[in-house]
Chains A and B, each alone.
Chain A
Amino acid sequence: MFDLEPSEDQKLMVQTARELAKNEMDPAAHDADEAAKLPADFLKKSWELGLACAAIPEKYNGASMERSAVTGAMILEELGAGDLSMAIAMLAPSLVAYPVLDYGTDLQKEIVLRACTGSEFPKLTAALMEPVYDFDPTALRTTAIRSGTNYVLNGVKTLVPNGSTADSFLVYARVGGTGFDNVQAFFVQRTVPGVTVSEKEKNMGINALDTVTLTLENVGVAPDTRVGGAKGIDFERIMSYSRVAQSALALGVARKAYEHSVTYAMERKTWGQPIATRQAIAFMIADMRIELDAARLLVWEAAWHLDKGRKATKESYLAKMVVDEMVLKVTDDSVMVMGGHGFIRENPVERWLRNGRGFATFDGLAMV
């Protein structure tokens, strides 16, 4: 029967994420953005909570939480409301852990999943996006060509989160023609010849997040670096998970901007009355809420399809399409509600607008 009531477990995890967002992320977000650096102890602190990679089974020393995209979407919305840079950074290991959990060989699971349940924040990340205007996961420019028993990788990846400190990159590459079926994932060690990691990229937003450009020139890797070995991965499904995850982060950014606008509009006065009593402002804020609620249901529904074992390609794609538009509009409106003050960096709305704009260009930056 149709039901939108979260389970007790979900409520508990949402609460944990909300507290992290409120106590550790949001208060530090401005300085982190200005300094273009995560707070010193953030990754360590957040890692201890075990919110990322919570679905790793007990066998690998994991928390063995139920693997649920719906639960993941709920948690990521909270983290997105805390701070987008910090959220993507703390979640980066799950970009590697979950594909390995779902498709990895026993050996890959043993190595990767154990690394993702240790006390140290794992130096693992994934590289999907490419620096082209028409980036397309079904037609990656990065290729992995069979050469003898090995694969040779060539291509350029961008927006690789936590790239400066990562020891190992999960690189998505095309092994044949176009289409999701022709994409596989390979582990590439930072120290392998032909790998070049750029300086930290300078972006419009998510400044505190360390992202790099990864260049691969004739990088030879052994067959056992391919996730799942000869069987490989279901990249289409991985992308659905990822699109749900990113959309959920965007919901958080938009919700934060909406909530800020509500509070501000009720305090700020013009001609003796709060601007919330003016229809021009009130209607803008009503629209924020309407579009936010609508987008959340699309994200949850896509996630629910994944939990039911379906590919959810269309659902996650449409949800992301709507969310990307919504988060831009809502964060832009949150700047407008504050007028000139919204343009001043002391106020968070301009940062949310810079972060919010990114979503339409992001793909594969988060995973549930």
Chain B
Amino acid sequence: MINFQHGDSLNNLAAAVEQIARDHMRPFTRAVDEKEHELNPDSYINTMYEVLKMTGGAMNSPVMGAKEGGEKKRRTGNITSVVFIEKMAWGDCGMYLATPMPLLGGAAVGSAGTPEQKQKFLARFREGKPKWAAMAITEPGMGSDSGAVTTTATLEGDEWVINGEKIFVTAGKRAVEDSEGFVVVWASVDRKAGRAGIKAFLVDHHTPGMKVAKLEHKHGIRCSDTAVLVFENCRIPKENLLGSADVKPTGDSKGFKGAMATFDATRPPVAASAVGVGRAAAEYTSEYLAKQGVAPRYGIGRNKLTAVEKDLMMMEAKVKASWLLTLKAAWMSDIGEPNNLEASICKCKSGRDMVWVCQKAVELLGSEGYSRKHLVEKWMRDSKIGDIYEGTQQIQKLVVARRIFGYSREQLA
């Protein structure tokens, strides 16, 4: 039965998250942007960690959409997660990314981890001080072609020895240096085996041989630490391998596919973070222009609209369309339907269109929009990451097209 309304319990929780975004994020949003890595949004982090512990980590990690015993069973984790994230990103996207939670690393453990691994690495997020988890895939020489990983993991006795350099690790420093968190590192156990040789490894905080070499200075989401992690003979227990150790010479191994499948669950949350930024900019612009006497005339003949009215309406429509696509992809996960196509659709559309929305916001405020007095210029910078991380708009289109045509990555690259 078609229904665009959430249940009361989700609406209540969402209202609480909105309150946090309003009270603990927005007031600091300019300062954390200007001070970049110097200023930790501590009050926010501590508040959020207590909330997350209390709610049992409702948004700690997206839930994978596997069917349980062949039965379609409606779950709510994915929708809950995107609803929360959208509201937090509305507060401040950088602070959302600095939220003490398992993020992508947690999603990987949640989807591919053994019960022991889940206990060891996820249980800690329900106790003690704030913690983070990170995902380390990208390297200086590779981006979305995840199969081209050059970092290696060699088994020596009961330990894996990791060597290599990872870049663009979101919350990397917070996960491995500032807290008792962990990082999921993608490394090859057999370079000759290509993608089949790539495995994901759980590396705990403060493991000797791992160091944070640098924090990036970024266009937007500045208070989120984007780290370079270097691994030099970094030794981890054998059981910290995520997924199977098999290297099958033909086709993908389960480990790689499992890790890639993580993205089906994490793309909607990333889309949600983009939508939150876009909505913030669209709402601010509407309110700002309303004070100047601009009131969009919904319903009248379209050729009577002013250019500004049309832009405002299109901003609103694009925010809503992106959001509905995001909810759809999350809903599919919740009912146990494969959503590879829909996850990429919502990420592509949200990432791209929210950049447009935020750029429009700067334009519509005139010279004021370009001023750092207002947040729209910040949102424009923050929005751009939504078009990039977790796979650029172009990578999403590749995924969408492959799904449409039923092509493999070899057929359409």
Whether A134 and B301, one on each chain, are in contact in the complex, defined by CB atoms closer than 8 angstroms, is: yes
Whether A313 and B298, one on each chain, are in contact in the complex, defined by CB atoms closer than 8 angstroms, is: yes
Whether B400 and A294, one on each chain, are in contact in the complex, defined by CB atoms closer than 8 angstroms, is: no
Q: If the complex has contacts A2-B6, A285-B404, A300-B2, are A139 and B298 also in contact, measured as CB distance less than 8 A?
A: no
Whether A304 and B324, one on each chain, are in contact in the complex, defined by CB atoms closer than 8 angstroms, is: no
Whether A262 and B2, one on each chain, are in contact in the complex, defined by CB atoms closer than 8 angstroms, is: no
Report Cα–Cα, A266/B411, bound state, in Å. 12
- Residue A298 lies at the interface, judged by CB distance under 8 Å to chain B: yes
- Interface residues of A toward B: which range? 35 or more
Q: If the complex has contacts A134-B304, A300-B2, are A262 and B404 also in contact, measured as CB distance less than 8 A?
A: yes
Whether B299 and A318, one on each chain, are in contact in the complex, defined by CB atoms closer than 8 angstroms, is: no
Whether A322 and B5, one on each chain, are in contact in the complex, defined by CB atoms closer than 8 angstroms, is: no
Report Cα–Cα, A4/B1, bound state, in Å. 7
Interchain Cβ contacts within 8 Å, total number: 143
Q: In the complex, what residues of B have CB within 8 A of residue A317's CB?
A: 298-299, 313
- Residue A234 lies at the interface, judged by CB distance under 8 Å to chain B: no
B 54-91 contacts with A by CB, 8 A? 74, 76, 79
Min CB–CB distance B236 → chain A (angstroms) = 39
Whether B3 and A133, one on each chain, are in contact in the complex, defined by CB atoms closer than 8 angstroms, is: no
Whether A293 and B325, one on each chain, are in contact in the complex, defined by CB atoms closer than 8 angstroms, is: yes
Whether B3 and A298, one on each chain, are in contact in the complex, defined by CB atoms closer than 8 angstroms, is: no
Whether B394 and A283, one on each chain, are in contact in the complex, defined by CB atoms closer than 8 angstroms, is: yes
Closest to A282 in B: B401
Q: In the complex, what residues of B have CB within 8 A of residue A290's CB?
A: 325, 345, 348-349, 397, 400
Min CB–CB distance A333 → chain B (angstroms) = 13
Q: In the complex, what residues of B have CB within 8 A of residue A336's CB?
A: none
Whether B322 and A294, one on each chain, are in contact in the complex, defined by CB atoms closer than 8 angstroms, is: yes
Whether B321 and A282, one on each chain, are in contact in the complex, defined by CB atoms closer than 8 angstroms, is: no
Q: If the complex has contacts A262-B405, A293-B325, A301-B324, are A286 and B301 also in contact, measured as CB distance less than 8 A?
A: no
Report Cα–Cα, A133/B303, bound state, in Å. 7
Min CB–CB distance B345 → chain A (angstroms) = 5
- Residue A136 lies at the interface, judged by CB distance under 8 Å to chain B: yes
- Residue A244 lies at the interface, judged by CB distance under 8 Å to chain B: no
Closest to B301 in A: A136
- Residue B7 lies at the interface, judged by CB distance under 8 Å to chain A: yes
- Residue B317 lies at the interface, judged by CB distance under 8 Å to chain A: yes
Whether B3 and A285, one on each chain, are in contact in the complex, defined by CB atoms closer than 8 angstroms, is: no
Q: How many residues of chain B are within 8 Å of chain A by beta carbon?
A: 46
Min CB–CB distance B400 → chain A (angstroms) = 4
Q: In the complex, what residues of B have CB within 8 A of residue A276's CB?
A: 401, 405, 407, 412
Binary flags per residue of B287-327, CB closer than 8 Å to A gives 1, else 0: 00000000000111111100000000110111011101101
Whether A4 and B348, one on each chain, are in contact in the complex, defined by CB atoms closer than 8 angstroms, is: no
Whether A180 and B325, one on each chain, are in contact in the complex, defined by CB atoms closer than 8 angstroms, is: no
Q: Which of B304, B345, B401 contacts A293 (CB 8 A)?
A: B345
Whether B301 and A135, one on each chain, are in contact in the complex, defined by CB atoms closer than 8 angstroms, is: yes
Min CB–CB distance B73 → chain A (angstroms) = 13
Min CB–CB distance B77 → chain A (angstroms) = 13
Whether B321 and A285, one on each chain, are in contact in the complex, defined by CB atoms closer than 8 angstroms, is: no
Whether A282 and B322, one on each chain, are in contact in the complex, defined by CB atoms closer than 8 angstroms, is: no
Q: In the complex, what residues of B have CB within 8 A of residue A293's CB?
A: 325, 328, 342, 345
Closest to B325 in A: A294
Q: If the complex has contacts A297-B321, A321-B302, are A282 and B327 also in contact, measured as CB distance less than 8 A?
A: no
Q: In the complex, what residues of B have CB within 8 A of residue A1's CB?
A: 3, 5-7, 10, 74, 76
Q: Which of A4, A6, A239 contacts B331 (CB 8 A)?
A: A4
Whether A298 and B299, one on each chain, are in contact in the complex, defined by CB atoms closer than 8 angstroms, is: no
Q: If the complex has contacts A70-B2, A314-B298, are A135 and B303 also in contact, measured as CB distance less than 8 A?
A: yes
Closest to B328 in A: A4
Whether A2 and B331, one on each chain, are in contact in the complex, defined by CB atoms closer than 8 angstroms, is: yes
Q: If the complex has contacts A7-B1, A290-B348, are A321 and B317 also in contact, measured as CB distance less than 8 A?
A: yes
Q: In the complex, what residues of B have CB within 8 A of residue A297's CB?
A: 321, 324-325, 328
Whether A298 and B331, one on each chain, are in contact in the complex, defined by CB atoms closer than 8 angstroms, is: no
Tell which of A70, A293, A295, A317 has the most Cβ of chain B within 10 Å.
A293
Q: If the complex has contacts A135-B303, A295-B321, are A287 and B397 also in contact, measured as CB distance less than 8 A?
A: yes
Min CB–CB distance B282 → chain A (angstroms) = 12
Report Cα–Cα, A1/B9, bound state, in Å. 10
A 288-337 contacts with B by CB, 8 A? 289-291, 293-295, 297-298, 300-301, 304-305, 313-314, 317-319, 321-322
Whether B3 and A286, one on each chain, are in contact in the complex, defined by CB atoms closer than 8 angstroms, is: no
Binary flags per residue of B251-265, CB closer than 8 Å to A gives 1, else 0: 000000000000000
Min CB–CB distance A238 → chain B (angstroms) = 12
Min CB–CB distance B335 → chain A (angstroms) = 8
Q: In the complex, what residues of A have CB within 8 A of residue B299's CB?
A: 137-138, 180, 236, 239, 313-314, 317
Q: In the complex, what residues of A have CB within 8 A of residue B10's CB?
A: 1
Q: Which of A2, A7, A294, A360 contacts B349 (CB 8 A)?
A: A294
Tell which of A3, A6, A290, A319 has the most Cβ of chain B within 10 Å.
A290
Q: In the complex, what residues of B have CB within 8 A of residue A41's CB?
A: none
Q: In the complex, what residues of B have CB within 8 A of residue A236's CB?
A: 299
- Residue A5 lies at the interface, judged by CB distance under 8 Å to chain B: yes
Whether A282 and B405, one on each chain, are in contact in the complex, defined by CB atoms closer than 8 angstroms, is: yes
Q: In the complex, what residues of B have CB within 8 A of residue A282's CB?
A: 397-398, 401, 405, 412
Q: If the complex has contacts A277-B412, A318-B316, are A304 and B405 also in contact, measured as CB distance less than 8 A?
A: no
Report Cα–Cα, A300/B321, bound state, in Å. 11
A 256-286 contacts with B by CB, 8 A? 262, 265-266, 276-277, 279, 282-283, 285-286
Q: In the complex, what residues of B have CB within 8 A of residue A301's CB?
A: 4, 320, 324
Q: In the complex, what residues of A have CB within 8 A of residue B335's CB?
A: 5
Q: In the complex, what residues of A have CB within 8 A of residue B328's CB?
A: 4, 293, 297
Report Cα–Cα, A287/B404, bound state, in Å. 11
Sample (29) of A-B pairs whose CB atoms are under 8 Å apart = A1-B74, A4-B328, A5-B1, A5-B2, A133-B303, A134-B304, A135-B301, A139-B301, A239-B299, A265-B405, A277-B407, A277-B412, A282-B401, A283-B394, A287-B397, A289-B400, A290-B325, A290-B397, A293-B345, A294-B321, A294-B324, A298-B317, A300-B2, A305-B4, A317-B298, A317-B313, A318-B298, A319-B317, A363-B301
Given contacts A3-B2, A285-B404, 18 further A-B pairs with CB under 8 A are: A1-B3, A1-B6, A2-B5, A2-B331, A3-B331, A5-B335, A134-B301, A134-B304, A136-B301, A239-B299, A276-B407, A279-B412, A283-B397, A286-B397, A286-B400, A305-B4, A313-B299, A321-B302
Contact residues of A with B, CB < 8 Å?
Answer: 1-7, 10, 70, 133-139, 180, 236, 239, 262, 265-266, 276-277, 279, 282-283, 285-287, 289-291, 293-295, 297-298, 300-301, 304-305, 313-314, 317-319, 321-322, 360, 363
The 10 residue pairs across chains A and B that have the minimum distance between CB atoms: A136-B301, A297-B324, A282-B401, A286-B400, A294-B321, A318-B317, A286-B397, A314-B298, A286-B401, A134-B303
